[in-house]
Structure 1
Amino acid sequence: MQDNRVLILDFGSQFTQLIARRVREAGVYSEIHPCNVDPERVKAFKPSALILSGGPSSVLEGGCPELNMEYLEMGIPVLGICYGMQLLAHNLGGRVVASTDREYGRAQFYAQNDSILFDGVEDKDDLTVWMSHGDRVEALPDGFVPMGKSDSIEFAAMGNVEKKIYALQFHPEVAHTTDGSLIIQNFLFKVAGLKATWSMSSFVDTTIEALKEQVGDAKVVLGLSGGIDSTVAAVMLHKAIGKNLHCIFVDNGLLRMGEREEVVGFLAEHFDLNVKMVDASQEFLADLKGVEDPERKRKLIGYKFIEVFDREAKAIEGVKFLGQGTLYPDVIESESFKGPSAVIKSHHNVGGLPEKMNLKLVEPLRELFKDEVRRAAYELGLPEHIIWRQPFPGPGLSIRVIGEVTEERLQILRLADRIVQNEMLASDWYRKVWQGFAVLLPLKTVGVMGDDRTYENVIALRIVDSLDAMTADWSRLPSELLARMSNRIIREVKGVNRVVLDISSKPPSTIEWE
């Protein structure tokens, strides 16, 4: 009997997480493991199918990540993508060479030999796909047949029908590939014979039961930020253990306007959660005095949070577990092979607390992506204004006040950001974008207000579209909406005389400015 689960081996592609998302969206559970994972761990997972991700390396170079051939001897269907295709060809007796015509970005693909992978795909004889490779397969291994080509390479897809091993040079997991999700589904359902049995409803029910078993009668302490991740984790734990969950909300002085009252009041009242509010704002601001370096800011805030949280948690008798809203991308990043992404900046998601406090971890969301957390929130009955609350960084407004953080500068940003949020909500754009916020820049410019010359601060608007924050593009908001935001900020926020719009994408920029 099949376990109906897919193992994805990560060879360092920036798109690896997208593969897992596409598989789960099809109703099949999947996990990402680094390509150098212990083979015993792979066998323990009991995968029903295997997907090899892309990656930045070349099989022609020494030291490149290798494929453990034991996995091909497991007798399960295999799909290789990009570098994964080159690995299969290289290890199974084919030939890979450096391509004279490298393909990056959109390309045209032409299916051949009526492959099952392309069943139902429109225009499969002239399909727009996303390529990202410097090497190409020049000769196929024995038993493989060509299943597609591009304008530049003869073998852009190959397959061994008997052994159910398929490979694609392009990336079906990215949105730029037409019908890419259907291609992945064809592999899952028509090649591997899997069933769409994984659902959020079943996940929530089984996780709550697992939490009851894991925690028992012990107490759990959880740092509640008001974001969707910690909120869903708290509600799930509350359903499992009730009043044995103790939530601590730390006001670090870096919150948005009215955030403390909204979070603590609403969750305590509507979900009957044990929530203790701790006002440590002056402690955080004292530590940040004179600090301009963004990485230093993040670390200071992380250290102070641990100190405050530790102090408050120790005052609760009988606590044995630390609850965290850790998501699957955090888990992947901690063990990935050269990343799905390199560490660009530090995070302080209660980092270091388990070691310092000697508590066992309980992480109900560690198998979920961000969009899946929202689906879990719906299953738990959370209201939409919490479910669709936009992401807010752990270091708070400190990384949106570029340069030194002071109470005066924070207040300017809070007022400007409140206008941005209100206008986004009033125009129905709040849920259309991934994230929208104001940034206070560390410079002043000349302006004219009435008959007076001014020399005041600049606010930047950062509003982006994204699916998972791995990539993002600036949102094309109506000019009338942008004009309202700008006019209101300059008119209503004392100390601001200019508003600019950030129109950079990620990459090369990041979503946050620091």
Structure 2
Amino acid sequence: MLDQAVRTASRADYPGGVTQTPEPPSPAHRPVLVVDFGAQYAQLIARRVREANVYSEIVPHTATVADLLAKDPAAIILSGGPSSVYATGAPFVDPALFEAGVPVLGICYGFQAMAQALGGTVAQTGQREYGGTAVQVTDAGTVLAGSPDAQTVWMSHGDAVHAAPEGFEVLATSAGSPVAAFEDRERRLFGVQWHPEVKHSPLGQKALENFLYEGAGLAPDWNPGNVIAEQVERIRAQVGDARVICGLSGGVDSSVAAALVQRAVGDQLTCVFVDHGLLRSGEAEQVEKDFVASTGVRLKVVDARDRFLRALAGHTDPETKRKIIGREFIRVFEDAAREVVAEAGEHGDEVKFLVQGTLYPDVVESGGGEGAANIKSHHNVGGLPDDLQFALVEPLRTLFKDEVRAVGLELGVPEVIVWRQPFPGPGLGIRIIGEVTAERLDVLRAADAIAREELTKAGLDRDIWQCPVVLLADVRSVGVQGDGRTYGHPVVLRPVSSEDAMTADWTRLPYDVLATISTRITNEVPEVNRVVLDVTSKPPGTIEWE
């Protein structure tokens, strides 16, 4: 039996759950591969492709032509990058890629690497181009169809293409780029020197869509409905008749993942909500009520607060804390799985699968398994123990956050859950800088509740991506409260705006709202005597402090 307190909720407790209607099978979409040459905008290119309703994935430049073709790509985009094509050790493109019959678009460095690989000339012009740059369109061709003869684009390069490869038509020029765009329509090879994926290239999205729709002949048919149909089919194929448990946090990611799996396998799914004591005020009750009411799933609630606090005692390193939380989650799930089997009876099926709400940014930041830099271990990616006893079901692994929200709405998940601000799996454990204790959690919970209440009261919930409140537990500063000297903790407000968590900027909240939050926290939370504002973008900072 579990050593934690367990209570079970069901549809009978909260009537009105979503009716489960089977989705018709749909073939998987062939991906547009974005080859990452180290550009800060590689993820943005992938997003812009998806905004055109075409599925995309990011792959490292170290992938061989065979690796790329094994993914059966519908098209390939070569991203920009910081290198010079002539630098020692610079990434290169195997010319065999262009003989594979797959449509290719080169952007910035990818454009130059394509030109060099195909026999064109790339050299220094002595005139670098950065930022807004005027280009002259000499032949619109395919990619620039519908463009005016003169337009402003966003450039960032030192080298330039001086001569296009044989068989290519020059489409545009600029002061620093004799060849600023080219194409070989017959071979479906295209390239531009500028960055069409950024908003500073006003006609950039049109150029990308021209490549996708006209150059590659793709249909804009990737949407939330397709995602649901494809994932339902894949989940059923993966799971079969086995039992499944889902680690439900109550956030949008795990909730949408659970709703997708329930759509696929119904009563084979049991959701396990672990109250690890690292939640914000009122969240445990909200999860148990709202999610069961909206979906009708069977929910097992496990009170593991003491277990997590014991495991975290004495630890201050962020990576260590993340891994401890990830490990304890899995151990609780394993205990819960045994309970599910026991409740099913002597001949109950084995629980073989664990559902997680892993997203694409989680995979990328945790190293991605393909040579990407490990920014930090997300508890459901890099933080899992080596002896994991479940096979993972991760139906959202290729999606960005805004795409997950769209899928959730399509599934009928209530807006109160879909639009909930992102909350990390490790919870407040990574918003306490220092050791996690019950007393420090109480302090942070109180400050966080005030901040959330005032942001909601000001109608700002949809204007910000999220607003972590961080307790600097190992820092104290002198203050004056009630005419007396205090030596209390500071808390940090971290309001950010983002589309997908890959990049973010701090949100310019109204001063009166900030003042109200600060005044209430320092008045109502005795242990806190200073409130500060984090005005760092991502990069260089991450959204969470740990």
Q: By the TM > 0.5 criterion, same fold? A: yes
Shift of 1:429: 1.0
Match of 1:231 in 2: 255
Runs of 4+ aligned residues of structure 1 deviating over 6 Å after TM superposition are none
- The answer (yes or no) to whether the contact 2:140–2:146 under 8 Å persists in 1 is no
1:398 aligns with 2:429: yes
Match of 2:151 in 1: 126
For residue 419 of structure 1, the aligned residue among 438, 445, 450 is 450
Cα distance, 1:485–1:112 mapped onto 2, change above 3 Å:
farther
1:94 aligns with 2:120: yes
- The answer (yes or no) to whether the contact 2:361–2:502 under 8 Å persists in 1 is no
Match of 2:314 in 1: 290
Cα distance, 1:292–1:214 mapped onto 2, change above 3 Å:
closer
CA deviations on 1:284-320 (whole Å, 9 max, x unpaired) are: 2222223222222222222322333233324432112
Match of 2:159 in 1: 135
1:269 aligns with 2:300: no
Match of 1:356 in 2: 387
Match of 1:249 in 2: 273
Q: Aligned partners of 2:359 and 2:266: how far apart in 1?
A: 22
1:175 aligns with 2:212: no
CA deviations on 1:330-371 (whole Å, 9 max, x unpaired) are: 4556556553xx212222116575852443332222232221
Shift of 1:104: 4.4
Show the 5 A alignment for 1:77-116.
77-98=103-124, 100-116=126-142
CA deviations on 1:477-514 (whole Å, 9 max, x unpaired) are: 11121111112112222222221111111112221122
Shift of 1:128: 3.5
Equivalent residue of 1:127, what SS? Answer: strand
Match of 1:488 in 2: 520
Q: Please give the root-mean-square deviation of Cα atoms over the aligned residues, in Å.
A: 2.5
Match of 1:375 in 2: 406
Match of 2:463 in 1: 432
Q: What code does the residue aligned with 2:459 have?
A: D
Q: Aligned partners of 1:103 and 1:427: how far apart in 2?
A: 43
Q: Aligned partners of 2:292 and 2:111: how far apart in 1?
A: 52
Q: Aligned partners of 2:55 and 2:246: how far apart in 1?
A: 27
Cα distance, 1:106–1:506 mapped onto 2, change above 3 Å:
farther
1:16 aligns with 2:47: no
Equivalent residue of 1:414, what SS? Answer: helix
Match of 2:244 in 1: 220
Q: What code does the residue aligned with 1:253 have?
A: G
Equivalent residue of 1:43, what SS? Answer: helix
Cα distance, 1:301–1:207 mapped onto 2, change above 3 Å:
closer
Equivalent residue of 1:117, what SS? Answer: coil
- The answer (yes or no) to whether the contact 1:354–1:360 under 8 Å persists in 2 is no
- The answer (yes or no) to whether the contact 2:295–2:413 under 8 Å persists in 1 is no
Cα distance, 1:354–1:447 mapped onto 2, change above 3 Å:
closer
Q: Aligned partners of 1:240 and 1:113: how far apart in 2?
A: 50
Q: Aligned partners of 2:526 and 2:299: how far apart in 1?
A: 35
Cα distance, 1:101–1:416 mapped onto 2, change above 3 Å:
farther
Shift of 1:419: 1.2
- The answer (yes or no) to whether the contact 1:12–1:337 under 8 Å persists in 2 is no
Match of 1:316 in 2: 340
Q: Aligned partners of 2:279 and 2:420: how far apart in 1?
A: 14
Structure 1, unaligned runs of 5 or more: none
Shift of 1:167: 0.9
CA deviations on 1:115-172 (whole Å, 9 max, x unpaired) are: 4323334x6613132x333432233222223323344333332222333321112221
- The answer (yes or no) to whether the contact 2:468–2:544 under 8 Å persists in 1 is no
- The answer (yes or no) to whether the contact 1:354–1:361 under 8 Å persists in 2 is no
- The answer (yes or no) to whether the contact 1:421–1:437 under 8 Å persists in 2 is no
Shift of 1:53: 1.7
Equivalent residue of 1:76, what SS? Answer: coil
Q: Aligned partners of 1:467 and 1:243: how far apart in 2?
A: 34
Cα distance, 1:452–1:475 mapped onto 2, change above 3 Å:
same
CA deviations on 1:18-49 (whole Å, 9 max, x unpaired) are: 22221222122223333343544543443332
TM-score normalized by structure 1?
0.91
Q: What code does the residue aligned with 1:33 have?
A: V
Cα distance, 1:490–1:353 mapped onto 2, change above 3 Å:
closer
Q: Which moved more, 1:386-395 or 1:260-269?
A: 260-269
Shift of 1:5: 4.8
Cα distance, 1:447–1:110 mapped onto 2, change above 3 Å:
farther
CA deviations on 1:172-197 (whole Å, 9 max, x unpaired) are: 11233222211101111232232212
Q: Aligned partners of 1:136 and 1:247: how far apart in 2?
A: 55
Cα distance, 1:183–1:290 mapped onto 2, change above 3 Å:
same
Equivalent residue of 2:150, what SS? Answer: helix
Structure 2, unaligned runs of 5 or more: 1-28, 342-349
Show the 5 A alignment for 1:473-512.
473-512=505-544
CA deviations on 1:353-399 (whole Å, 9 max, x unpaired) are: 58524433322222322211110001111111111111112221122
Equivalent residue of 1:456, what SS? Answer: strand
Cα distance, 1:427–1:207 mapped onto 2, change above 3 Å:
same
Q: Aligned partners of 1:469 and 1:272: how far apart in 2?
A: 30
TM-score normalized by structure 2?
0.86
Equivalent residue of 1:263, what SS? Answer: helix
Shift of 1:87: 1.1
For residue 148 of structure 1, the aligned residue among 172, 178, 200 is 172
Q: Aligned partners of 1:99 and 1:74: how far apart in 2?
A: 32
Q: Aligned partners of 1:68 and 1:314: how far apart in 2?
A: 51
Q: Aligned partners of 2:502 and 2:364: how far apart in 1?
A: 13
CA deviations on 1:398-449 (whole Å, 9 max, x unpaired) are: 2211122222221111111111111112222111111112111232223223
1:409 aligns with 2:468: no
Q: What code does the residue aligned with 2:244 have?
A: V
Q: Aligned partners of 2:86 and 2:416: how far apart in 1?
A: 52
Q: What code does the residue aligned with 1:428 have?
A: G
Q: Aligned partners of 2:455 and 2:135: how far apart in 1?
A: 40
Cα distance, 1:357–1:464 mapped onto 2, change above 3 Å:
closer
Q: Which moved more, 1:430-439 or 1:66-75?
A: 66-75
Equivalent residue of 1:170, what SS? Answer: coil
1:37 aligns with 2:63: yes
Q: What code does the residue aligned with 1:224 have?
A: L
- The answer (yes or no) to whether the contact 1:109–1:128 under 8 Å persists in 2 is yes
Equivalent residue of 1:22, what SS? Answer: helix
